[in-house]
């Protein structure tokens, strides 16, 4: 499927943006140079007839993205949270992509529910509404369970969404491969890996059983977090294409007028959204990776209510420590340490100059400190940061894509609530707490104990392992030199001692 026929699809993308007027809107919002705008119009106009017409009642960019399909809508959802990058007017246009897309028929939704759950809608629910929200992949109905009378949200996948998304991803793969071929320097950004990562994430979003499992795990890890709430999943009413969970009642986090009318403190809410994301990412290594306004509400008691768990992020403990040290370094304005962490983690090639990299990072971080967030141009900052990564040969880290993307989205949500928020000041207590508890002598000792306990599980096998290792020393085919034999013998001793320690600790524990 990833063949040259995708050239037509790529041409159609550009043609659709030209036909709907989205090309001009995007270039103006991004403050593109005049010569680039002229070139885009001259090159795009002859092919505009190939573009999709879309819904003429929608604004240009929204019209183009909805016409192109779900993958493009997902991209628009991310941009809708960044008015500081795309401009407030374009961000407002794109916000409808979060949960206000045209729904499919209720009759079709009922038919899918009955097919998936094995009972009629009338038997399962005493009440069942028209769609209350519709996004790129699914829509939601408000209902009431016949068995208990509880109000629930019933999420149903859009018909044919798997095939439609596969078609979009196909074009993305072709575009990535073409970019790598035409621009070898772009390979450090690993566009194919990025698309593959995006493919895997959203493919998981197309199976609501996986989303139900994610919601259940997230509910468990955040149960003790004050000011944050996750609804409960009803497993007996969920399947591959249908998901049922507790109803979330609250003010939309993207409607400042409603939030103000309800008497909530938007500054506090902005801080809470950002801090909760950091706490979940650093403390748990498991975070909601689609935290745009369409997936967030404010409860009557001021709690942040989160739903839609199709995209969740997970990072291992080592990566969390690296991420925390980088943030901590920026907060302390210790750019030398930030640079060293990048080199230690292998994010920057070892042959580059650490001092030069630290100086480049200072140019990124210093403009943020002591300046009102409303006066910081994120578009300019991101542009310069991209130049830095290119200059120092940094490759895209696929394991961090979801984390970085979510950070951008969450910061955008926080700024929509409080345009003057200082992300470094808000992040400081969360990052400092994590660093204090997880980096340093205490953490090292805890790691040693944990390693010993893991090895201790092999306690009963230690005699056999030692015997096998010693026999290997007398093998007719010894290592090429005695140094190799000595290293093996030393490893046997270390394994025995560590294993014995682990066995004792495991027994005592």
Average pLDDT over residues 11-35: 75
Radius of gyration of the chain (CA): 26
| 225 among known catalytic residues | no
Closest CA to 125 of 49, 9, 234: 234
Find the range with the poorest average confidence among 38-42, 275-279, 289-293. Answer: 38-42
Query: Residue 180: in which H helix or E strand, if any?
Result: helix 161-182
Residue 116 has pLDDT above 90, yes or no: yes
Torsional sign, CA 58, 59, 62, 67: positive
Q: Are 155 and 138 in contact (CB under 8 A)?
A: yes
Number of H helices, E strands in the chain: 23, 10
Average pLDDT over residues 25-44: 67
> Which tokens in the block code for residue 405?
């993307």
Average pLDDT over all residues of the chain = 79
Instruction: Identify the residue with better confidence: 397 or 270.
Output: 270
Q: What is the largest CA-CA distance in the chain?
A: 83
Q: What is the pLDDT at residue 142? A: 96
* pLDDT tens-digit series, residues 63-114: 888 888 777 887 777 667 666 566 667 777 777 776 667 889 999 999 999 9
Q: Which of 290, 303, 372, 418 is catalytic?
A: 290
Dihedral pair phi/psi, residue 302, rounded to 5° = 90, 0
User: Do β-strands 138-145 and 228-229 pair in parallel, antiparallel, or remain unpaired?
Assistant: unpaired
* pLDDT tens-digit series, residues 400-451: 767 877 887 888 889 889 988 887 788 889 988 888 888 766 666 766 776 7
* pLDDT tens-digit series, residues 440-499: 666 667 667 767 666 666 667 767 776 777 777 666 555 455 444 444 444 444 444 444
Q: What is the pLDDT at residue 302? A: 92
Closest CA to 232 of 220, 249, 250: 220
Residue 502 has pLDDT above 60, yes or no: no
Q: What is the pLDDT at residue 507? A: 44
For 74-108, the three-class secondary structure string (H helix, E strand, C coil) is: HHHHHHCCCHHHHCHHHHHHHHHHCCECCCCCHHH
pTM of the model: 0.71
Residue 195 has pLDDT above 90, yes or no: no
């Amino acid at each position: 499927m990833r063949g040259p026929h995708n050239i037509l699809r790529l041409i159609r993308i550009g043609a659709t943006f030209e036909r709907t007027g989205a090309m001009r809107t995007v270039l103006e919002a991004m403050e593109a140079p005049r010569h680039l705008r002229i070139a885009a119009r001259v090159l795009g106009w002859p092919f505009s007839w190939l573009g999709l017409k879309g819904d003429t009642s929608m604004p240009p960019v929204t019209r183009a993205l909805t016409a192109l399909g779900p993958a493009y809508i997902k991209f628009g959802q991310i941009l809708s949270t960044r008015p500081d990058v795309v401009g407030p007017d374009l961000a407002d246009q794109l916000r409808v992509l979060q949960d206000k897309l045209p729904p499919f028929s209720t009759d079709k939704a009922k038919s899918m529910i009955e097919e998936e759950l094995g009972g009629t809608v009338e038997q399962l629910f005493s009440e069942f509404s028209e769609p209350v929200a519709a996004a790129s992949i699914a829509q939601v109905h408000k209902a009431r369970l016949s068995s208990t009378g509880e109000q629930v949200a019933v999420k149903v996948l859009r018909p044919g969404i798997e095939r439609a998304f596969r078609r979009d991803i196909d074009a993305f793969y072709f575009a990535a491969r073409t970019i790598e071929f035409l621009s070898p320097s772009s390979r450090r950004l690993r566009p194919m890996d990025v698309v593959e990562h995006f493919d895997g994430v959203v493919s998981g979003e197309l199976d609501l059983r996986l989303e139900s499992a994610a919601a259940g795990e997230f509910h468990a890890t955040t149960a003790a977090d004050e000011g944050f709430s996750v609804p409960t999943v009803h497993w007996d009413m969920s399947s591959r294409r249908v998901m049922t969970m507790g109803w979330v009642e609250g003010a939309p986090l993207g409607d400042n007028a409603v939030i103000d009318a309800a008497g909530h403190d938007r500054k506090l809410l902005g801080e809470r959204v950002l801090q909760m994301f950091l706490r979940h990412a650093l403390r748990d290594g498991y975070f909601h990776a689609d935290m745009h306004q369409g997936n967030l509400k404010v409860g009557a008691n001021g709690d942040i209510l989160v739903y839609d768990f199709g995209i969740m992020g997970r990072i291992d403990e080592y990566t969390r420590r690296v991420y925390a040290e980088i943030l901590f370094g920026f907060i302390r304005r210790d750019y030398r340490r930030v640079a060293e962490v990048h080199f230690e983690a292998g994010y920057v090639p070892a042959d580059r100059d650490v001092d030069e990299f630290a100086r480049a990072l200072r140019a990124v971080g210093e403009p943020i400190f002591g300046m009102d967030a409303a006066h910081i141009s994120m578009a300019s900052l991101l542009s310069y940061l991209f130049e830095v990564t290119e200059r120092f040969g940094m490759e895209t880290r696929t394991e961090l894509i979801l984390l970085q993307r979510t950070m951008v989205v969450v910061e955008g949500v926080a700024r929509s609530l409080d345009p003057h928020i200082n992300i470094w000041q808000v992040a400081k207590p969360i990052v400092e707490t994590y660093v204090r508890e997880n980096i340093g002598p205490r953490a090292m000792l805890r790691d040693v104990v944990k390693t010993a306990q893991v090895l201790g599980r092999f306690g009963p096998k230690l005699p056999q392992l030692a015997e096998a290792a010693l026999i290997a020393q007398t093998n007719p085919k010894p290592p090429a030199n005695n140094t190799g034999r000595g290293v093996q013998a030393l490893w046997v001793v270390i394994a025995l001692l560590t294993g014995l320690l682990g066995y004792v600790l495991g027994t005592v524990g």
